[in-house]
Amino acid sequence: MCAADATPVLTRQDLCDRCRDVARVRAVLPTGNDLLFCEQHARQHADRLREIGASLSPEP
């Protein structure tokens, strides 16, 4: 994690919370908690996550 960046960089050890594939996207929820998604699940859930105020990094 870079000092200027509060979000840790995803590595190959970070797994999707839906299917356990390698995570590519981090969704930070308004509560401060985060969810990790593979590319497929990030695209599938992106609209709803944005509706509830989550920020996605990187954008799917």
Residue 42, CA distances (Å) to 3, 4, 14 in order = 26, 25, 14
* Neighbour count for residue 50 (Cβ, 10 Å): 13
Confidence of residue 2 (pLDDT cuts 50, 70, 90): very low
pLDDT beyond 50 at 3: no
**Residue 7, pLDDT score:** 67
Taking the CA atoms of 42, 43, 48 and 53 in sequence, report the sign of the dihedral they define: positive
pLDDT reported for residue 52: 97
Can you give the pLDDT at residue 60?
77
Can you list the positions of beta strands (E) in the chain?
Answer: 25-28, 34-37, 55-57
Q: For residue range 7-57, what is the model confidence (pLDDT) as tens digits?
A: 689 999 999 999 999 999 999 999 999 999 999 999 999 999 999 999 999
